[in-house]
Structure 1
Amino acid sequence: MIRSIPSPTVSSLELGPLTFHLYALCIIAGIAIAIWLGDKRFRAQAPEAKSVVSEVAITAVPAGIIGGRIYHVITSPNAYFGSGGNPVDALKIWEGGLGIWGAISLGAVGAWLRYRQLAKGMDLPNFAHFLDALAPGILFAQAIGRFGNWFNVELFGKPLNAPWALEVPVQYRPSGYAAFETFHPTFLYEALWCSALAFALIKFGKHLAPGQVFSIYVMVYSIGRLAIESIRIDSANTIAGFRVNIWVSVLVALAGALTLRAQSRKGQ
């Protein structure tokens, strides 16, 4: 019988002179899945749009990584610019720290700019269709990426005594939690939430108005993220006693809901 989930003992692989960080490999694997599934879904709508998703990814992926890192650094400045912090560490993406809202925001801008260029020479659906095609793949990418946090033994939740609890070695436990051995595996909660939402969008999103699949993704993911953020115990900046990411989750969920409502009225 499984008593708890063990934490990995390694976070990287050494192959000769090369070091492969497992966090980075999870991110890369997630991106590959997102591109493959996004291409498959988009070409089902526009068969002539061969390689459009991969072309857009060349711009959108770097933009998303940069946006995700900027968001993380802005919302956790003390780790890099505070007492004992090192600004150079802000560049060490393989150590963890990509904020999903920054990644989606700047990645979407990069995608829109490249998609608009491609659309000038091709008969492509509007950008809302493109975002809808990408949404499930992005969710699967997020699910896979969360296992990078598992390999880094980070971002777990409050103490928990259950068969699915995560064992955390004492050196990774936050101050005040040294006496606890097992914690909420928030990486697993988010991976399952993202995967379930992705499957739901694939199954039930076929008859929605353009843009609604992506809006539902934004709204429902943010609701789940709100719940997960409420049990995390890693250090974070707060506003009025609540973690910054909780406030952002609320605002993004509301924005998604309002956008979805506007899209519903437009489609009537």
Structure 2
Amino acid sequence: MNIDPVVTPDSFPFEVRWYGLVIMLGMILGVIYSLRKAKMSCISTEDLLDYVLFAVPVGIICARLYYVLFNLSEYHSIGEVFAIWNGGLAIYGGIIGGFFTMLAVAKFKKMNFLSVIDCFAPGVMIGQILGRWGNFFNAEAYGALSHISFPFIGDIATPIFENDYIFRMVIENDRVGTIAVHPTFLYESLWNVAGLLLIHFYFKNKKFNGEIALIYASWYGFGRFFIEGLRTDSLTQGAFRVSQMLALACVIAGITLIIIGRQKAKSKAKELDEYISQFSEPSEIQKENK
């Protein structure tokens, strides 16, 4: 089964692709969600939108540059480099670009950077949840051959879900027909849904500024490490998959910093309790007067 990645008819003056629409929808919903979380952190709508104004375009540019740099042989003209509607955005490039852009804006506005990225982390996850479906419409980011008979099957096996394209990613060619492969876009989307639920319910209980962003990095990195191992189109550096190396680094750094942050938060809470107790307990003079 083929799905046309182009939304607009041939008579339309320019192409509009599902890939771009899905990513744009993810960004919009992510920003709306982040605005709600900003209120909990006493960050104004105006301030948060300033971050969006700079971080989103820089993030898209960096996501594209990251992908192109690891696939230079695929591009033969400047026009192809800018044709992002054909696919080819690397989430790590976008996150790195957005991270440093928000850091610069936070320094300029003299705001708490860690509190800001806590608000944006779940919004980014929403963007990823929906953005992966752009890969679905472009029939890209697929995984290795799947031998699982249910539900990831193809026409070469018993077609229990022959027409259910959403629950299986397929490659079509003239030699083998349609074969079943792991729908890694779906795996990652569902993994991020679980992560978003975790962050959503934990947000108000965070122990220190930056913890939500670290939970996001650890959660996403852990899932991406294993999902990336199933993909056949990974960006590589020598014999290593770049995304797997970055995912592992995110997990190690994220968990380590969460442990350190919670220990510091616990120590500060203990010091505060001791300080308050000095004023709540009656002094020796008060005891004698009694």
Query: Could you list the runs of 4 or more consecutive aligned residues of structure 1 that deviate by over 3 angstroms after TM superposition?
Result: 85-88, 115-119, 161-164, 177-180
List aligned pairs for 1:104-183, cutoff 5 A.
Answer: 104-119=95-110, 126-160=112-146, 161-165=148-152, 166-171=168-173, 178=176, 181-183=179-181
**Partner of residue 227, structure 2:** 228
Decide which moves more: 107-116 or 201-210. Answer: 107-116
2:42 is aligned with 1:46: yes
Aligned pairs (5 A) from 1:1-268 = 8-14=2-8, 16-46=12-42, 49-80=44-75, 85-119=76-110, 126-160=112-146, 161-165=148-152, 166-171=168-173, 178=176, 181-208=179-206, 209-234=208-233, 236-239=235-238, 241-268=239-266
**Aligned partners of 2:15, 2:189: CA distance in 1, in Å?**
26
Aligned-pair CA distance for 1:167: 4.5
Q: Retained in 1: the 8 A contact 2:143–2:232?
A: yes
What SS does structure 1 have at the residue aligned with 2:243?
Answer: helix
Give the count of matched residue pairs.
247
Q: Tell whether the 8 Å contact from 2:62 to 2:93 is kept in structure 1 after alignment.
A: yes
Work out which structure has the larger RCO, using CA pairs closer than 8 Å and 6 or more positions apart in sequence: 1
Match for residue 271 of structure 2?
none
Separation in 2 of the partners of 1:258 and 1:101?
Answer: 20
Q: Deviations over 1:57-86 (max 9, x none)?
A: 010001111111121112222222xxxx44
For the 8 Å contact 1:79–1:86, the answer to whether it is kept is no
Q: Displacement, 1:45?
A: 2.2
> Between the two proteins, what is the percent identity of the paired residues?
28
Moved more, 102-111 or 249-258: 249-258
Asked if structure 2 preserves the Cα contact closer than 8 Å seen for 1:159 and 1:180, the reply is no
Q: Rate the CA distance shift 1:64–1:230 in 2: closer, same or farther, 3 A.
A: same
Once the two structures are TM-superposed, the CA of residue 139 in structure 1 deviates from its matched residue by: 0.4
Indicate conservation of the 8 Å contact 1:39/1:51, yes or no: no
Q: Matches of 2:89 and 2:47 in 1, distance apart?
A: 26
Q: Are the structure 2 counterparts of residues 236 and 131 from structure 1 closer, same or farther at C-alpha, using a change threshold of 3 Å? A: closer
| Aligned equivalents of 1:142, 1:237: Cα separation in 2 | 21
CA offsets per residue over residues 145-177 of structure 1, 9 Å max, x none?
Answer: 000000000111111243432242424x9xxx9
Residue range with higher mean Cα deviation, 181-190 or 91-100: 91-100
Classify the secondary structure of the residue corresponding to 1:18. coil
Q: Structure 1: where are the runs of 5+ without partners?
A: 1-5
* Rg larger in structure: 2
Q: In 2, distance between residues paired with 1:56 and 1:154? A: 31
Cα distance change of structure 1 residues 18 and 91 upon mapping to structure 2, 3 Å threshold: closer
TM-score (norm 2): 0.78
Residues 1:220 and 1:267: Cα distance change in structure 2 (over 3 Å): same
How far the C-alpha of 1:25 sits from its partner, in A, is: 0.9
Q: Aligned in 2, Cα 1:255/1:75: closer, same or farther, shift over 3 Å?
A: farther
Equivalent pair of 1:11/1:22 in contact (CA under 8 Å): yes
